[in-house]
Amino acid sequence: MPERVALAPAPPAGAGLPADGLVAVVKRDCPTCRLIAPVLAQLGPGLVVYSQDDPAFPAGLADVRDDTGLDVSVALGIETVPTLLRFGGGTEVGRTEGWLREAWEELAGVAGLGTGLPEYRPGCGSLTHDLEVADELLVRARGGSLAARRLEIAALEDEAEALFERGFTDGLPVVAPTPARVLRMLQGTTREPGEVVAVVPPNLAGATVEKVAINAVLAGCRPEYLPVVLAAVEAASTDEFNAHGLLATTWGAAPAIIVNGPVARALGMNGGGNALGQGNRANATIGRALQLVIRNVGGGRPGEVDRATLGHPGKIGFCFAEDEAGSPWEPLAVARGIAPGTSAVTVFAAEGPRGVVDQISRTPDSLARSLAAGLRAVAHPKLALAFDATLVVCPEHGRVFAQAGWSRGRLAAELAELLLLEPAEIVRGAGGIAEGIPAGAARGPVPKFRPDGLMIAYAGGGAGMFSTVIGGWVGGPGGSRPVSREVGS
């Protein structure tokens, strides 16, 4: 069912609504309206009738007015026809929808209405809720608030092809951002369309709420996803995250999003089976919307500022929820300083995910060693203090740590200890591999990751002892650090 059009503050000038008396709103296309046409005649000459689709319906009444433009219906907030309203002292004092003899008699103050009719008949949806009509009304009421330039597409052009040819897509078809669709998307937030959300790298272009909404439409988001997209855009545009550097590097990482809190549940986001894969609309489109904002607002296009040697499919969009209900630990956002119970996003640099298999370990020490071995390969097994990473622990592996009483912090500390790399193993030439640290650069064990360079999340299906390593990019100054932001309204 189309969303309700926002009501005008008052009926249009000249509508002629009575200060005291009855008003009926009907349409010929409604069987119940046709059924109760004789009842309208019983209500007397003071009745004012507004007809949504035929100014000649119903016939034989003294005051039937043309509301085919639906201005009065919108102003009165008509949901169903027929609707009977009573006005007193210039304001509405009562209404009833559909046909219920008792309710009509009470509101009209007239007994014996429609004695030959059934006692009750439901009404029909107001014409204002017809999808095409609702779009037209929404644009009529609020279209002037949109500031984006209009892109005209010829009648014979295919929308998807036209948007691709003009460079607005990531290579996949997008949803055309018509004014009505953008206005509906904007209904997902209380923020003003012209508010600047962030200055988006690499072009340092101001992204207003409206511009983010346009890209959310392109991505296929629902309006209720918009606050999450806005928070992700804010996080990805910070100096701390350094989206410009992440784009300009020839390394293949890209922004990814982990969502925590009530909003993840409300949107039906996936933190369970196939959480990092396809099939969930919110996961797929929220991540895609962020990437399209970076492309279309910030100018981060492949082959231009985006210089990735290979990239990976997650550069189209990478977003998932943490499985907070099943997790043995506090939510990731809480571990990063967000208040418990708060909806939040964490944006981080991400390569494509790669699995770590351990189906035998039943002790946390053994399992931690397996995960450390998988993490050592990030970027290169001989590179230390260079690239960050995110470890996504699956439920079956999480159960091993939970049963042993290991917290997220304990696991992180154990992994850090296991990932102290001996200089002799990582020096250039060791193992017949030229890559590595220069000779003499380290006098003792070197951490694989910088402090706070390994983030641990919890997600995945209930079966399968397969956790996942998501490599990142250079961390710390000059690189990219994960950024968490609360999701507002």
Question: DSSP for 443-484?
Answer: SS-EESS-TT-EEEEE---SS--EEEEEEEEE-STTS---EE
**Shared-domain flag, residues 273 and 135:** no
What are 185's two structure tokens? 């998307």
Percent of the chain past pLDDT 70, that is, above it, reads 97
Q: Tell me if 147 is assigned to some domain.
A: no
Is 29 in the same domain as 120? yes
What pLDDT is attached to residue 87? 96
Q: Is residue 166 part of a domain?
A: no
Residue 145 has pLDDT above 90, yes or no: no
Helix (H, G, I), strand (E, B) or coil at 125: strand
Is 412 found in the same domain as 350?
Answer: yes
d(CA 335, CA 340): 9
Domain termination site, one of 123, 140, 157: 140
Are 414 and 348 part of one and the same domain? Answer: yes
What is the per-residue pLDDT across 213-242, written as a single tens digit (0 to 9) for each?
999 999 999 999 999 999 999 999 999 999
Q: How confident is the model at residue 15 (pLDDT cuts 50, 70, 90)?
A: low
Find all residues with CB under 8 Å of 323, minimum gap 6, and list them: 271, 272, 275, 395, 458, 459, 460
* Residues 196 and 333 reside in one and the same domain: yes
Residue 395 lies inside a defined structural domain of this protein? yes
Number of residues that this document lists for the chain: 489
Indicate whether 174 belongs to any domain.
no
For residue 92, give its domain range. Answer: 21-140
Confidence at 143, pLDDT banded by 50, 70, 90: confident
Task: Count up the domains in the chain and report the number.
Answer: 2
127 plus 229 within the same structural domain? no
Asked if 223 and 187 touch (Cβ cutoff 8 Å), the reply is yes
Does 205 share its domain with 132?
no
CATH code of the domain in which 117 resides: 3.40.30.10
- 194 and 339 in a common domain: yes
pLDDT of 138: 86
Per-residue pLDDT of 264-322, as tens digits, reads 999 999 999 999 999 999 999 999 999 999 999 999 999 999 999 999 999 999 999 99
Kindly state whether residue 171 falls inside one of the protein's structural domains.
no
Measured distance CA(274)–CA(461) in Å, rounded: 7
Same domain assignment for residues 207 and 330? yes
> Does residue 475 lie within any of the structural domains?
yes
Q: What pLDDT score was predicted for residue 478?
A: 87
Residue 338 lies in a domain: yes
pLDDT in tens, 359-407: 999 999 999 999 999 999 999 999 999 999 999 999 999 999 999 999 9
Closest by alpha carbon to 178, among 233, 132, 224, 129?
132
> What's the token pair of residue 79?
């949901």
Mean pLDDT of 172-192: 96
Q: Average pLDDT of the chain?
A: 94
Q: Are 183 and 117 within one domain?
A: no
Same domain? 187 vs 82: no
> Tell me: the pLDDT tens digits for 206-220?
999 999 999 999 999
Inside any domain, residue 239 = yes
437 and 331 in a single domain? The answer is yes
Q: What confidence category does residue 413 fall into, taking pLDDT thresholds of 50, 70 and 90?
A: very high
Predicted pLDDT at 71: 92
* CA contacts within 13 A on the Cβ side of 76: 34
